[in-house]
Amino acid sequence: MTRVAVLGIGLMGAPMARRLIGAGFEVIAWSRTLSKADALRPHGAVVAGSPAEAAAMADVVIAMLADGPAVTDVLFGDGAAAAAMKPGGLVIDMSSIPPSLARDHAARLAASGVSHLDAPVSGGTRGAGDGSLAIMVGGEEAAFETARPIFAPLGRAIRVGPAGSGQLAKLANQVIVGVTIGAVSEALLLAAAGGADPAAVREAIRGGFAESRILEEHGRRMIERDFRPGGMVRTQVKDLDTALAAAADAGVTLPLTQDARERFAALRDAMGGGGLDHSALLLQLEAASGRRLTAAPDQRPD
């Protein structure tokens, strides 16, 4: 039985760990907040007291952490997970971090005989729970083939290139998500301001060229004013900042992404919305226009 350590038991890591347990993997769970890892014990997980302890017991280490510095610290800093791994092991970093940092991690692990895949995901907590995540993978073909059985219960994995390429694909995803959330918000506000029923407009345009997962799920959230997270505003800002930095390095200008980033940042900073679902960009656009999409009360995290 393949032993998989999951480092980071949060909104995404917890349902992913449960999927792996259900698929027959032995899962070792670690979280900075011990109670989050402990919640997996009834499902059959072994709980580790440190990243190094988890990594020492595992054949494969999955990291699902907040950002690049957190991954670096867990692998190479105080967490010391990389040093605890046996040669021939595999690290699958499913966090969203800068492509350059993913390439650095891959090189550092290769020097100690450990393979690395950067494999960020899209699909949110719903996709993590039902195993329908889009998994964008960068790294060597042989490591990808080794990881296929692990990816299978989590979602659809596609290798998109060498180390760092998975993170580039995730940035492309986040650019599309961030800009499209803004477009759906503006479209529904326009419809409501002109006297149309925004819920009916959403249904009417579905199936046409405007159809998208954002219109389906985030459009529904906007109409119902359900801003309890899935994907958080603060995470969206982080990812758009990373995308803009990568674009600057590549000499590419992304004006729509820049505008979306400023609006998400205003929602986070001026309106205290960092912990809301990113569909709450609607709130920033409502404030700017002086109009409210629907009369339903806002649903926010407790």
Three-state secondary structure of 26-41? EEEEECCCHHHHHCCH
The yes-or-no answer on residue 170 being catalytic is: yes
Beta strands in the chain (DSSP E): 3-7, 26-30, 46-47, 60-63, 90-93, 115-118, 121-122, 133-139, 155-161
| Structure-token match 């907590």, residue found | 125
CA 12/CA 277 separation, integer angstroms: 14
Q: Which helix (H) or strand (E) holds 226?
A: none
By C-alpha distance, which of 77, 84, 41 is closest to 61? Answer: 84
- 36, 86, 170, 238: the active-site residue: 170
Residues 6+ apart with CB under 8 A from 228: 276, 277, 299, 300, 301
CA 131/CA 140 separation, integer angstroms: 24
Residues 6+ apart with CB under 8 A from 195: none
Q: Which helix (H) or strand (E) holds 49?
A: none
Known catalytic residues?
170
